[in-house]
Structure 1
């Protein structure tokens, strides 16, 4: 699965998409980098108007994990306003990288 092939909506994510973009984080319970990623994405979402942060428990949503091709946690998908994936990163992102990736989505 490549970037641009994935489109997700509120029904699949269990939360509303952001008005301008959405940061979707796939996490697991015992993942230390997931906690740091949650903080970074929450800070960015609070800084940038119209951006939502949705965290998904990968173990509880194996169907979605398989559908979008997530291989490890944390994995972050950057979705545009229509729910189309514009960027993807595995591992703990830096705040500057998240902000740059949002630039492609909005």
Structure 2
């Protein structure tokens, strides 16, 4: 049931979100709340199935940041078959993230 959190780039993201359910975390390596969210996401990954959980470095993927309208970090977006389902900004707790995934 557990899934793995992995880092991808903007090009991989474009392909990944086309099918299935994907939780994307846009983060920065210099952001304290982003680092804490990384630990929360690893915990979430142990509790969910049927979803890909990926991280995208905000600073290294400017085209993806612009394409998906990400204005700040951390920002999490859930996609289902290419459509954005929900989006939240800032550090979130495990129950809220699991609820976002549905």
TM band (smaller chain):
0.7 to 0.9
Matched, 1:42 2:42: yes
Structure 1: how far apart are the matches of 2:76 and 2:85? Answer: 11
**Structure 1 match to 2:22:** 22
**Structure 2 match to 1:91:** 90
Aligned-pair CA distance for 1:53: 1.1
Gaps of 5+ in 2: 1-9
**Structure 2 match to 1:5:** none
Query: Secondary structure of 1:89's partner?
Result: strand
Q: How many residues align?
A: 92
**Structure 1 match to 2:5:** none
Q: Which runs of 4+ in 1 moved over 3 A?
A: 14-17
CA contact (8 A) 2:75 2:87 kept: yes
The Cα offsets for residues 60-81 of structure 1, whole Å up to 9 and x where unpaired, read as: 100010111111110000112x
The Cα offsets for residues 38-67 of structure 1, whole Å up to 9 and x where unpaired, read as: 121222122111222110001110001011
**Structure 1 match to 2:73:** 73
Query: Secondary structure of 2:96's partner?
Result: helix
CA contact (8 A) 2:29 2:35 kept: no
Gaps of 5+ in 1: 1-9
